[in-house]
Structure formats: structure tokens, C-alpha cells
Structure 1
Amino acid sequence: MTKYAVEPTGRERTFGEDEIIVSKTDTSGRLLYVNDVFCKVGLYTESELIGQPHSIVRHPEMPRTVFKLLWDTIQKGEEIFAYVKNMAKNGDHYWVLAHVTPSFDAAGRIIGFHSNRRVPDRSALATIEPIYQKLLIEEGRSANRKDGLAAAEQMLAEMLRVQNTEYDRFIFSTLKAA
């Protein structure tokens, strides 16, 4: 099965505050498990998702630099919290507060990743969305994707340096402010 090529609709999907989107992937990000909430919100069946790259739900308005930070962190064996804008099968979007953790075997090797996603607080998104828009603009300024990603990484690092914080602490500060 190939990734669906749909355009964003601009419509937002939501899910209940008591619901959690859960998925597990292998080390390359291919889906091994999805729960019913993942399927319901994303408008996919389980069989359409299993074996696909998790990026099947990637929204084009989501900065690549945030995904790079996420992957760099979990591949080091650390957990991360991140706001993510995902896209359903029909092009609708939905925001999540993702908690992504590596899964380890008995020898301590990373064998995959586990993600729980909750409904983010709307006031936290009011802080996050303008930052993500700036990162997207920065990614698009360069002649090639690699340079754009590096420039946006530098922009995010500088923003965090000015605030004297790390990404996870910044995410938690938006929760406290919310």
C-alpha cells in the first residue's frame, strides 16, 4: 500500500480528553500496533496502517525540524514530549501532545518506539502554532531541504537558548501556562 496523496482540508478533527492515541513502531518507524482511537481519528483501518511508516499521518504544515529533534532524542534512548499536527486519511488535521519513548529488549537495545498521544490544551497550541509556522518558513527559505532543515534547527536552538530552556522544559512550560 502506498501513502495517500491528499491535500489538507483545513478542517480539524478532535478526540476526547479521556481518549489516548497509541501506536508502536519498529526502529525504522513502521507501524506495528495502532489502537482503535488512532484508527478512528485518522480515518484509517488497522490493516491500512500496520506496516506503513508512521509518517502516513504527517501533516505538511508540521516542521521537519521538530521530527528531527524527536527522532534524534528517541534514537539516543530518551523520551520526548512534542506537539504534533497530524493529518487524517481525508486531509483533515488533528493536534496531539505526543509522549514518545523507546522500547528496549532485555539487553538494553532499542527495538522500537511507543507513542501515547493526548488532546493538547488549546491555549498551549496558541503558543506552539506561531513557532511552528516560523520554523516552516525558515525550512522553506533555503534552496535545498537539507540547508532549510539546518537553518530551522538553528532557529529552534536559538529560541530555546534565549529562553534558557530545553525543548521538553519548553513543552511543559506551555502546559503550565495553559
Structure 2
Amino acid sequence: MDLQQHPSNKPVLVDKEVAWDKTKVIMSKTDARGIIEYANEVFVDVCGYEDYELMGQPHNIIRHPDMPKVIFKVLWEKLQSGENFHAIVKNLAKSGRYYWVITDFEISRNEEGVIENYFARRKSVPQEVITNHIEPLYKKLLQIEAASGIQYSEKYLNGFLEERNKTYVQYIMELIYNHEKENVKAEKAEEEKGFFSRFFGR
């Protein structure tokens, strides 16, 4: 059985993934400061908090300690300057379990053009993308943050992306696109194998 909460009200970490329907979309709405104003049923089901526990809370209520701070720094800088941003994030459920998502933001402004709300849609991320690319990168960024601070993890992230001639968003979108392309290729190969084995009777 998973441990739920310890006295400080922080979830006790459990190194297990939340079981959830990965075809569904997790949605939330926050104000300009990142305070939760709405969470859809999928969000509530996956994170394990009730609606009343989420409303009025900062979105970092679900921040996992395995997440490098630099990713959120870049994310907030982009959003506050009015740019959409995609990020791959490891979130922390109330049970202490984790779940990985890719987030897409929509920015809402008032009549004066001032940002009022952020709408976030989150989908699951292929496990191969997490294991082979994101976890090793985030682990290194965390290590740098612990040893030298966030400014050096940002320098490392910038160097990592410059070497690939990509922005962070381009890098993660390409990872997901390449994964999907490989899947389609594998499915086609399976279909062809099936056709030939039927055709030749083996």
C-alpha cells in the first residue's frame, strides 16, 4: 500500500507511476501567478487531490523533486513574455507516485492585453522518450543545480540545445515526432511480415 501523507503535508515519495488512462487529456486553468482556478476530472483523478484541495493552490503543489528548477524558470520566462511553451514534466501525485506529461499552454489576455490566465493541456509522454532522453538530461541538470546553482544548469541546458541547433521546444517535439515515426515504421513492418507469412503459408 502507498503511503499517503506525512505530517508536513508533503506526499511521501513512492517510486511508482500513477496508473491512468493515457489517451485522456489533463486540463487546468491558472491565473497569471500560477494559482489554480480550474482542474478537469482527469487532472483530479490522476493527481489524487480533490477539487477543493487544488483550488487556490499554486500549481507547484504537484511539482516533483526530480524536476530541475531551470525547466520551470525557462517555462515561466516564455509564458510571461507571451510565448506558448511545451514542456515535458514529471509531476507528483498526492499518493507520492509520479506521472510524466507534455504540456501545451494557451495564454488568455484581458482587453488591455495583460495576461490574465494560462490554460494547460497535458498528455502522456512515450516511455522510451522519457527513459532514453529526458531522464538522463534532467538528472544532469539536477546534479548541476545541486553543485553549482540554477545559473549553471541553465548554461548547460543552453549548450546542450545549441549543440543540437534547437530550442527546448523543438528538441522535445522532435523526440516525440521521431518516436511516433518509429512506431509507424514498426507497425508497417509487422503488417508486411504478416502479409508475406500468409502469402507463403508460414
Shorter-normalised TM range = over 0.9
Q: How far off is 1:117 after superposition? A: 0.3
Aligned with 1:64 (options 42, 54, 69) = 69
Q: Contact between 2:85 and 2:169, CA under 8 Å: does it hold in 1? A: yes
RMSD (CA atoms): 1.2
Q: How far off is 1:20 after superposition? A: 0.6
Query: Match for residue 156 of structure 2?
Result: 155
Q: Which has the higher contact order (CA 8 A, sep 6+)?
A: 1
Query: Match for residue 166 of structure 1?
Result: 167
Superposed, which structure 2 residues align to 1:72-91 within 5 Å? 72-91=77-96
Cα distance in structure 2, aligned partners of 1:14 and 1:96: 13
Q: How far off is 1:111 after superposition? A: 0.5
Q: How far off is 1:7 after superposition? A: 2.5
Q: How far off is 1:122 after superposition? A: 1.4
Query: Match for residue 176 of structure 2?
Result: 175
Q: Contact between 1:103 and 1:111, CA under 8 Å: does it hold in 2? A: yes
Query: Match for residue 14 of structure 2?
Result: 9
Q: How far off is 1:66 after superposition? A: 0.3
Q: Point out the structure with the larger helix share.
A: 2
Cα distance in structure 2, aligned partners of 1:14 and 1:138: 31
The reply on whether 1:130 has 2:136 as its aligned counterpart is yes
Q: How far off is 1:14 after superposition? A: 3.6
Cα distance in structure 2, aligned partners of 1:31 and 1:4: 18
The reply on whether 1:108 has 2:78 as its aligned counterpart is no
Cα distance in structure 2, aligned partners of 1:101 and 1:170: 20
* Aligned positions, number: 171
Q: How far off is 1:101 after superposition? A: 2.7
Cα distance in structure 2, aligned partners of 1:123 and 1:177: 11
Cα distance in structure 1, aligned partners of 2:19 and 2:164: 31
Identity of aligned residues (%): 36
Q: SS at 1:132's partner residue?
A: helix
- Using structure 2 for the length normalisation, give the TM-score: 0.82
Cα distance in structure 2, aligned partners of 1:134 and 1:14: 27
Q: CA 1:4 to 1:100, structure 2 compared with 1: closer, same or farther past 3 Å? A: farther
Gapped runs of 5+ residues in structure 2? Answer: 1-7, 180-202
Query: Match for residue 41 of structure 1?
Result: 46
Q: How far off is 1:107 after superposition? A: 2.7
Letter in 2 for 1:161: E
Query: Match for residue 27 of structure 2?
Result: 22
Where does structure 1 differ by over 6 angstroms across 4 or more consecutive aligned residues? none
- Using structure 1 for the length normalisation, give the TM-score: 0.92
Cα distance in structure 1, aligned partners of 2:70 and 2:174: 20
Q: Which entry has the higher C-alpha Rg, 1 or 2?
A: 2
